[in-house]
Every structure is written in structure tokens, then in C-alpha cells.
């Protein structure tokens, strides 16, 4: 009976392990005016393909940076309704996901997507 119990536990661990690995490899990140919405704010360490999906009406970017400002990965401008893959390798810790589009409008006022709300924190666990 004890052996059977161990086998069941081992099977569950293997099944869960495979599922977690699959989820760690890819994550959708929605971009819109003016927010960044990752499918999860918590991912496992390693290489991850961020599937950027711009659901807004203006271009956006995604920059992945450490808390001291080191940029680890940055997308090109993602056009409205377009998608782009941004691959980044992450160690355990916390990272800033931001859109870095900044421009001065015709009225002379600065528009900074980050200041408008396009910033969120991604936590990476071992």
C-alpha cells in the first residue's frame, strides 16, 4: 500500500512538473491604453517567450528591466492589433515591465506611456 502511495505521488509530481514547464516557456502580455497586463505576475526562472499583443489603438513597446534599470530585453514598437514575441532569460527576482514610448504632442505636452500607467512588476521564482 505504501509503495502504491509513493507511485501515485511520483506520478502527480511528474504530471505537475510537465505542466509547469510548459507554462514557464510562454506567456501572453496584453498592451493597451494605458496598461500592461501579463497573463501572470509570477513566473518561473529561465527563458520565456513573452507574446506581446497590442489590443490598443496606438503603438506600444515592452521593456524588461531590473530594478536598477538594466534593460534585459526590449521589443520594437508593436503596432495596434499586432503581435510580437520578446524572448528573455530571467533569474529569480523582481523585474519592471514598462512601455517606453515618450513623445511631445502637437500641443507641446509630453506624453509618457509609463507615466500614463504602462508599468507593472513581474516576479520570477526559482
What are the phi and psi torsion angles at 80 (to 5°)? -55, 135
Residue for grid cell 520570477? 124
Q: Judging by beta carbons within 10 Å of its beta carbon (0-12, 13-18, 19+), is residue 97 exposed, middle or buried?
A: buried
Select the residue interacting with Cu ion from 50, 78, 113, 122 (CB under 5 A).
Answer: 113
Task: Provide, rounded to whole angstroms, the least separation between the CB of residue 59 and Cu ion.
Answer: 7
Beta bridge partner(s), residue 4: none
Size of the site for Cu ion (CB under 5 A): 5
Nearer to Cu ion, 43 or 97 (CB): 97
Site for Cu ion in 91-110 (CB under 5 A): 99, 101
Site for Cu ion in 17-76 (CB under 5 A): 60
Q: Which residues bind Cu ion (CB under 5 A)?
A: 60, 99, 101, 113, 118
Amino acid at each position: 500500500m505504501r509503495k502504491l502511495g509513493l507511485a501515485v505521488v511520483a506520478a502527480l509530481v511528474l504530471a505537475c512538473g510537465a505542466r509547469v514547464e510548459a507554462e514557464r516557456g510562454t506567456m501572453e502580455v496584453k498592451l493597451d491604453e494605458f496598461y500592461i497586463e501579463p497573463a501572470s505576475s509570477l513566473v518561473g526562472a529561465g527563458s520565456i517567450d513573452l507574446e506581446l499583443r497590442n489590443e490598443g489603438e496606438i503603438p506600444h513597446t515592452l521593456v524588461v528591466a531590473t530594478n536598477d534599470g538594466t534593460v534585459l530585453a526590449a521589443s520594437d514598437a508593436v503596432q495596434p492589433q499586432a503581435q510580437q514575441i520578446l524572448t528573455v532569460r530571467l533569474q529569480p527576482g523582481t523585474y519592471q515591465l514598462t512601455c517606453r514610448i515618450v513623445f511631445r504632442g502637437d500641443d507641446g505636452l509630453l506624453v509618457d506611456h509609463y507615466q500614463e500607467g504602462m508599468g507593472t512588476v513581474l516576479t520570477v521564482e526559482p
